Amino acid sequence: MSIKIKNISIKGIRGAKESLELPLNGRSILLYGDNGTGKSSISDALEWFYTNRVSHLSSGEIDLKDALRNATLTDEDVSEVSVSYIKGEAFNATKSLFVKRGKLGSEFTNTTEEFGKYLDNSTKENLLLRYQYLRDFIDNTKGDKLKYLSDIIGFSEVTKKKDVLRKSYNSLKTEIKNQNFEAQINTQKEVLIEKIGAAISRKEDLIEVINKKIAPLKTGIEVKEMEDIDSLLEHLKKGTNNKLNEELTFLEKVKATTDTLKSEIEFINTEYDKYYEEFEKIAEDVESIMQTFLAELLKTGDTVLAKKYHKDESCPLCLQPKNIEDLRNEIAGRLKEIEESSKKKALFDKAKQSIGAITVERIKRLDNLLLEKLIKQEDHKAIHAGTTALKEKIEKFQRASVEKVTSGNKIPNKDTVGFQASDFDFQSVIIDRIKEIKIIQEKDNSAVVYSNVSASKDAFIKIKYFEKQRIRLEKQRKTLEIIYNEFIKKQKEGLENFISTFSEKINGFYQYMNPDEPFQEIKIVTIGEDDELNGITIEYEYNGEWVSPPQKYFSESHLNCFGLSFFLASVEAFNDNNDFVLLDDVISSFDTNHRKRFAELIFEKFSKYQIILLTHEYDWFKNFVSPLAKQKNWIINEIKWSEDKGTFLDEKPNDLKERIEQSIAESKIEGLGNPIRIYLEHSLKEICSNLDVKVSFRYNDFNEKRMPDELINALKSRIKDKSKELKEEFPTIERVANSALFGNLLSHDNPFNPKIGDLKAFWSDILALENIFVCDKEDCRRPRVSLKNYDNVAKNVRCGCGQTTYDWK
Amino acid sequence: MEEKVKSGKEILDDFFENIGTIENVDPEIAKMLNKLYNDDKLTDTNVKNELQTLRETDVDKD
């Protein structure tokens, strides 16, 4: 889309009391307005229209809606901003601000989804630049600079997705560590060694050993596959004491699980100790962790100071006297401290997460044992008690892992709750009972074989299961690692591509405004490692050396030039919908040379865009920009202010006439009442002034606000006394006065909705009236009929060349 | 700008569309991440759960 503005109409907003129209028709406009004339009403209105905010009215002390309303309006008055477009007619809309039930509310007339989307997209575009925000980007912290650009190009979303991938990768690493496959596999290998004399790893070897073990029993069964082992076990079970077999299986399971846990004593204790140390560190300095919650507040405070929302030399919160620069340095120092605290907290969180996951997994394993039917039997109450005690111990770890570090509560140290070998003393009961069973089974060879085959089969399957689990997790971890690294690469490429193209553009604009100066190769650069970009800074080459930040050698003008270059580069880079920009007094602090170069830059490099250029620099406006603007067919105008009208556009009658005629030609009569009234008033005032028509005395502004009917009556009265020839023109004059539309115009700003035919006829009558008093000869230098050209001899009033002459006694 | 710079969204779209072509990446995981991204459900919890499901599906295949 290349949307340009056709018309902006502002009423009752900021300085604009009456309707302030900018009939642009897609053209650029140069507007001069002295300080205090309210030209920023236009930028305020447009900013509010698009973003629902006005940046310089964003202080908490200001009620934006209230501040937007013209101060003289009553509750019944509605404030409005209407914008119509070229190449975007569907988005034409009026945003109004009105009092409803004692409160100020606002709404758009255009409620289509299409318009909502356009508005949403436009909010992200760079449509408006004010002088006071030129240095915003430069003054931002390196992190905020990155955030600013990231938000615009949608990199914040990229960062979010990167975080998801990183967390997923980390969770796999944690899972592998927590499972402690090595310990689990080793326990099962020990079972194999005990039962069949070797920690075999191949299925074929297991089958071979089993076949050897069962050979003396002459079962007639040959194990060929794993499934055959089950048939063998069924066969062996028939001749054995089944209860003893079950008990042995149960005891061996408890032993294996508790053996694994025992082998993990150091691992678990170390992980808990790490957590305990991090907990202590944080608990001893809870204040610094609490400070991390203040980071956002401090950042906001710094933004308030950087953007000069608070201009006094005091703290914006407590209002104690304070040098702003000192305060900002203090804030930077505190933010640095907070950054350290955040790092500490990250270490703590990692340790907490690790011990949490470890305890959950171990409790699950012990719960499995506690669900065993045999563990509840009286005979095994020591085993039950021992297992329960182990679980309780782990639960202590778990409780400690969820303790809030800011609660002030202490958590037990490793020496108090850590696992000790003695926690596993109850295993002696298991071992003894296993021995007893084995002695019983020794008398029965089948039972011994059954027990060994069954246990070794289970251990073998478990080893294979753990190995597969480990491989799967490793495979997933590897994949996530590759994906994450590839993502970082793409993100970096994307950002670098953007930054280098963007830097080139900024440098181009900057060099254009600052030719032959020693600041070269201005660019924005990223700070931080590949996977943890933490900021952006600006640097340039100065006398062969790279300099950063730019404030080091840049003058005020240079800094502002950079701000402008940055904005213009952003316009080209990010504005996809709109081809217009509003520049509000942006050259205020520029020296003459920079002002000149800026104007040339705008006219030369930005001719594709519709520019709304506001300035209060009269010399620049008059002597430099106006001639260039004229050449480029820009609209040039002045903004003025009066107590009566508020901010208004001092439109030249010729421009006004051209606008009215164009609108009539296009049959676009909406809002045409005001310009016609202004034109008629202007025209009648000039005629009356030229013929010295007298009207009653009025003070100041009321004198300005003469109504057309008053002027026409006074004109007729004067003509009646002075000129027979002009009296013959009364029918033409009266056609205007008697028009049905004339009455509607008497009230300033009357809603005026005539039919196009009536309007054409009325406009034609106004022109006919005007033509009575204007010479139509092309080379007439003073075409207005005026007493300045009064012929004393012939007693005539006439134009400069004398072609249009009337008797005048 | 003359040379089109990719927006964040374009970078993400491209990355997840071509995630399966990255060398040595498990196609099942690539497919899963692509689907979560397209369904706007790419969160660490969802990825963790899906990875768990994939591991379990793997076990079933054995």
| 8 Å CB contact of B7 and A154 | yes
Residue B1: per-residue pLDDT: 41
Q: Is the pLDDT of residue A751 over 60?
A: no
Q: Is the pLDDT of residue A218 over 80?
A: no
Point out the residue among B5, B37, B43 whose CB comes nearest to the CB of A497: B5
| Angle, alpha carbons A506-A508-A509 (nearest 5°) | 70
The whole-angstrom separation of Cα A314 and Cα A730 is 71
The whole-angstrom separation of Cα A315 and Cα A308 is 12
Calculate mean pLDDT across residues A165-173.
93
Calculate mean pLDDT across residues A148-173.
84
Residue A325: per-residue pLDDT: 84
Q: How confident is the model at residue A58 (pLDDT cuts 50, 70, 90)?
A: low
Using DSSP's 3-state secondary structure scheme, residue A489 falls into helix
User: Which chain A positions have a beta carbon within 8 Å of B3's beta carbon?
Assistant: 501
Q: B27 to chain A: nearest residue by CA?
A: A479
DSSP A588: T
> DSSP assignment of A702-733, as one string?
HHH---HHHHHHHHHHHHHHH-HHHHTTHHHH
Residue A704: per-residue pLDDT: 59
| 8 Å CB contact of A154 and B9 | yes
The dihedral through the CA atoms of A708, A714, A718, A723 has a sign that is positive
User: Which chain B positions have a beta carbon within 8 Å of A171's beta carbon?
Assistant: 44, 48
Which residues have a Cβ under 8 Å from the Cβ of A478 and sit 6 or more positions away? B24
Residue B15: per-residue pLDDT: 94
**Mind listing the pLDDT tens digit for each residue in B2-54?**
445 677 888 899 999 999 999 999 999 999 999 999 999 999 999 999 999 99
User: Angle, to 10 degrees, between the axis of helix A427-442 and the axis of helix A445-513?
Assistant: 140
> DSSP assignment of B1-61, as one string?
--SPPPPHHHHHHHHHHSGGGSTT--HHHHHHHHHHHHTT---HHHHHHHHHHHHHHHHHH
**CA-wise closest residue to A56 among A132, A166, A136, A140:** A132
Q: Is the pLDDT of residue A153 over 80?
A: no
Whether residue A389 lies within 8 A of chain B, CB to CB, comes out as no
Q: What is the mean pLDDT of chain A?
A: 86
A548 against A58, higher pLDDT: A548
Count of CA atoms in the C-beta half-sphere (13 A) of A64: 18
Using DSSP's 3-state secondary structure scheme, residue A649 falls into strand
**CA-wise closest residue to A656 among A626, A678, A633, A638:** A678
Point out the residue among A155, A473, A479 whose CB comes nearest to the CB of B8: A155
* Both tokens assigned to A422: 């003695």
Whether residue A468 lies within 8 A of chain B, CB to CB, comes out as yes
Residue A115: per-residue pLDDT: 95
**Mind listing the pLDDT tens digit for each residue in A316-375?**
888 888 888 888 888 888 888 888 888 888 889 889 989 999 999 999 999 999 999 999
**Mind listing the pLDDT tens digit for each residue in A699-709?**
655 665 567 88
Pairing of strands A103-108, A93-100: antiparallel
Residue A806: per-residue pLDDT: 94
CB of B13 within 8 A of CB of B34? no
Q: Is the pLDDT of residue A718 over 90?
A: yes
**Mind listing the pLDDT tens digit for each residue in A201-213?**
899 999 999 998 8
Calculate mean pLDDT across residues A715-722.
92
Calculate mean pLDDT across residues A765-776.
92
CB of A39 within 8 A of CB of A649? no
Terminal C-alpha separation, chain A: 64
CB of A451 within 8 A of CB of A245? yes
User: Which chain A positions have a beta carbon within 8 Å of B34's beta carbon?
Assistant: none
Residue A478: per-residue pLDDT: 96
Calculate mean pLDDT across residues A376-389.
94
**In chain A, which among 568-607 make CB contacts under 8 A with chain B?**
572-573
Residue A429: per-residue pLDDT: 94
Q: Is the pLDDT of residue A409 over 90?
A: no
Q: How confident is the model at residue A48 (pLDDT cuts 50, 70, 90)?
A: very high
User: Which chain B positions have a beta carbon within 8 Å of A172's beta carbon?
Assistant: 51
Instruction: State the smallest CA–CA distance between residue A488 and chain B in angstroms.
Output: 11
The kind and range of the H/E element at A309 are none
Q: A489 to chain B: nearest residue by CA?
A: B15
Calculate mean pLDDT across residues A552-558.
78
The whole-angstrom separation of Cα A728 and Cα A715 is 13
Q: How confident is the model at residue B61 (pLDDT cuts 50, 70, 90)?
A: low
**In chain A, which among 528-547 make CB contacts under 8 A with chain B?**
none
Chain B interface, best mutation among A125, A153, A509, by max B CB count within 10 A: A153
* Both tokens assigned to B25: 């990446």
Q: What are the distances in angstroms from CA A103 to CA A69, A76, A97, B60?
A: 13, 12, 10, 65
| 8 Å CB contact of B59 and A468 | yes
User: Which chain A positions have a beta carbon within 8 Å of B33's beta carbon?
Assistant: 483
Using DSSP's 3-state secondary structure scheme, residue A754 falls into coil
Q: Which residues pair with A30 in a beta bridge?
A: A613, A636
Residue B2: per-residue pLDDT: 44
At A80, give phi and psi (nearest 5°): -145, 145
Q: How confident is the model at residue A745 (pLDDT cuts 50, 70, 90)?
A: low
Point out the residue among A156, A480, A572 whose CB comes nearest to the CB of B1: A572
A99 against A444, higher pLDDT: A99
Instruction: State the smallest CA–CA distance between residue A77 and chain B in angstroms.
Output: 44
| 8 Å CB contact of B62 and A478 | no
* For chain A, percent of residues with pLDDT exceeding 70: 95
**Mind listing the pLDDT tens digit for each residue in A530-546?**
556 667 788 888 888 88
Residue A185: per-residue pLDDT: 94
A416 against A644, higher pLDDT: A416
* For chain A, percent of residues with pLDDT exceeding 90: 41
The whole-angstrom separation of Cα A357 and Cα A604 is 64
User: Which chain A positions have a beta carbon within 8 Å of B8's beta carbon?
Assistant: 150, 153-158, 494
Chain B interface, best mutation among A226, A476, A568, by max B CB count within 10 A: A476
> DSSP assignment of A596-631, as one string?
HHHHHHHHHH-TTSEEEEEE--HHIIIIIIHHHHHH
**Mind listing the pLDDT tens digit for each residue in A457-480?**
999 999 999 999 999 999 999 999
